[in-house]
Amino acid sequence: MENSNKRPETMERITTPELAQAFIEEQVKAVQEQVGDGKVLLALSGGVDSSVVAALLIKAIGKQLVCVHVNHGLLRKGEPEQVISVFKDELGADLVYVDAVDRFLDKLAGVSDPEEKRKIIGNEFIDVFAEEAGKLEGIGFLGQGTIYPDILESEKGIKAHHNVGGLPEELNFELVEPVKLLYKDEVRVVGKALGLPDNMVYRQPFPGPGLGVRCVGAITRDRLEAVREADAIVREEIGKMEQVPWQYFVAIPDIKSTGIKDDKRYMGWAAVIRAINTVDAVTAESVEIPWEMLKTIRDRIIAEVPGVNRVLWDISDKPTSTIEWE
């Protein structure tokens, strides 16, 4: 059976590698006891929580864990490749990589309503994952990267604590949630102790629908590629700031404006830079980016990203703007 969903008051905050090691050893034992010789399935997005759970489960049960990484085409540059290199190549995980890019982008074609886009992405994810689960034999458990704030928020009725967006109940798996009593900072300390790379453990928050909500309006493949390339540039450059903002990215709305290229009129998109600081994402403040850095970002985006002829900086706070554009 699962243990309690209540964090004991005596539980020490995990802040050091030693405390992380002790936690890992304890959870390895607990998972081995829970799972026995059964098999666990895990949706591995490459985000902090699912990555830490994957590394922990690999340590505990090795090949009894099957990870499924669904590439829906809305991930950031280099993400699917990193999931494969870290988990399959380095940690030796049994990893099923699902290239579902065409499936998602075909379903999303022509859809401009943000909520409709979110719904399509969420539902399609569940369908793809359930199909993959159906192909596997002998799975009895579902690993989940539930963390303590998910449990607290679900108790308060703020959101259901389905980490993977509500995987179908009829899958009928028992849950394995080894980090469910941890806060985010503790999950990162544990991830570090498990040997995961810094850019995985300390990554900025990234929405479930991914770049889909930053390719504003109806998603097209060419504009999505432009968002991905411009985002990689912004992550690289703003990542050099002394105090790295809480979240920083690019959105490209579905609008073209007049520009000039090779002495000719050139209709292109505007890439919008967004960098914010926040404590809880309920309110947020636009972060001041040094002018020299803005110019470097502008020059690189214009030179390196096909289709973009203009670079803007979104200085809006939340409220009135939300952090994401959709």
Smaller CB separation from ligand XMP, 3 or 322: 322
163 belongs to the binding site for ligand XMP (CB under 6 A)? no
Find the shortest distance in angstroms from Cβ 172 to ligand XMP. Answer: 25
Helix (H, G, I), strand (E, B) or coil at 70: strand
46 belongs to the binding site for ligand XMP (CB under 6 A)? no
Write the DSSP assignment of 140-179 as a string of letters. EEEE----HHHHHHHHTTSS---TTS---GGG-PEEE-TT
From 92-100, 183-191, 208-216, 296-304, span contacting ligand XMP (CB under 6 A):
208-216
Instruction: Tell me the per-residue interface mask from 270 to 309 with ligand XMP, x by CB under 6 A, - otherwise.
Output: -----------x----------------------------
118 belongs to the binding site for ligand XMP (CB under 6 A)? yes
Find the shortest distance in angstroms from Cβ 96 to ligand XMP. Answer: 23
CB atoms within 10 A of CB 143: 28
Question: In angstroms, rounded to a whole number, what is the distance separating the alpha carbons of residues 208 and 123?
Answer: 12
From 4-12, 95-103, 189-197, 202-210, span contacting ligand XMP (CB under 6 A):
202-210
94 belongs to the binding site for ligand XMP (CB under 6 A)? no
Size of the site for ligand XMP (CB under 6 A): 12
140 belongs to the binding site for ligand XMP (CB under 6 A)? no
Burial of 282 from C-beta contacts in 10 A (0-12 / 13-18 / 19+): exposed
Dihedral, CA atoms, 313, 314, 315, 317, nearest 10 degrees? -160
Find the shortest distance in angstroms from Cβ 52 to ligand XMP. Answer: 17
Interface residue with ligand XMP, options 209, 245, 268, 307 (CB under 6 A): 209
164 belongs to the binding site for ligand XMP (CB under 6 A)? no
The candidate with the shortest Cα–Cα distance to 148, out of 193, 122, 175, 178, is 178
The candidate with the shortest Cα–Cα distance to 149, out of 176, 181, 187, is 181
Dihedral, CA atoms, 244, 246, 252, 257, nearest 10 degrees? -60
Question: In this structure, which amino acid lies at residue 297?
Answer: I
Find the shortest distance in angstroms from Cβ 323 to ligand XMP. Answer: 3
Interface residue with ligand XMP, options 207, 217, 253, 259 (CB under 6 A): 207
Interface residue with ligand XMP, options 149, 208, 217, 259 (CB under 6 A): 208
Subset of 244-263 contacting ligand XMP (CB under 6 A):
247
- Give every CB contact of residue 160 below 8 A, 6+ residues apart in sequence: 154, 166
Q: Token pair 């806060």 is at which residue?
A: 183
Catalog residues that contact ligand XMP under the rule CB under 6 A: 118, 205, 207-209, 213, 247, 281, 318, 322-324
